[in-house]
Amino acid sequence: MKIEGQSMHCLGQGSNAFTVLMASGGTDKKGGSGGKRGSKSSSFPHPWQQWLYNIAMSPQDYVGTYKSMEYNESCVWIKDSYPKGRHHFLVVARDPSLEQPSDLRRRHCGILKRMLSYGEARTEHLRNLGVDFKLGFHSIPSMRQLHMHVISTDLTGTGLKHKKHWNSFTTKFFLDADRVVNALESDGQLVIDRKGCEDMLKENLKCFKCQDEFKTMPELKAHIVRCKTER
Ligand code: AMP
Task: Tell me how far apart the alpha carbons of residues 220 and 27 are, in angstroms, rounded to a whole number.
Answer: 34
DSSP, res 88: E
Task: Tell me how far apart the alpha carbons of residues 58 and 92 are, in angstroms, rounded to a whole number.
Answer: 12
User: What is the pLDDT at residue 66?
Assistant: 87
Q: Could you tell me which residues are beta bridge partners of residue 138?
A: 174
User: What is the pLDDT at residue 73?
Assistant: 94
Q: String of b and e for 186-224 (b: at least 16 CB within 10 Å)?
A: ebebbbbbbebbebbbebebbbbeeeeebeeeeebbeeb
78 lines ligand 1 (CB under 6 A): yes
Type of residue found at 156: T
Type of residue found at 148: M
Task: Tell me how far apart the alpha carbons of residues 228 and 210 are, in angstroms, rounded to a whole number.
Answer: 8
Active site residue 165: no
Is there a contact between 125 and 81 (Cβ–Cβ < 8 Å)?
A: no
The residue whose CA is least distant from atom 15 of ligand 1 is 81
Is there a contact between 49 and 35 (Cβ–Cβ < 8 Å)?
A: no
Task: Tell me how far apart the alpha carbons of residues 223 and 90 are, in angstroms, rounded to a whole number.
Answer: 27
User: What is the pLDDT at residue 41?
Assistant: 53
| Dihedral angle over CA of 79, 91, 146, 202, nearest 10 | -60
User: What is the pLDDT at residue 137?
Assistant: 98
User: What is the pLDDT at residue 196?
Assistant: 96
Separation of CA 139 and ligand 1 centre (Å): 14
User: What is the pLDDT at residue 24?
Assistant: 31
DSSP, res 75: E
pTM, rounded to two decimals: 0.86
One of 9, 88, 138, 147 is an active-site residue; which one? 147
Which of 61, 142, 160, 197 gets mutated to test ligand 1 (max ligand atoms within 8 A of its CB)?
142
Q: Give the helix/strand (H/E) hosting 47.
A: none
Q: What is the pLDDT along the chain (231 residues), one digit of tens a residue?
A: 222 223 233 333 333 334 444 333 333 333 333 344 444 457 899 999 999 999 999 999 999 888 889 999 999 999 999 999 999 999 999 999 999 999 999 999 999 999 999 999 999 999 999 999 999 999 999 999 999 999 999 999 999 999 999 999 999 999 999 999 999 999 999 989 999 999 999 999 999 999 999 999 999 999 999 998 877
Is there a contact between 18 and 187 (Cβ–Cβ < 8 Å)?
A: yes
Is there a contact between 146 and 100 (Cβ–Cβ < 8 Å)?
A: yes
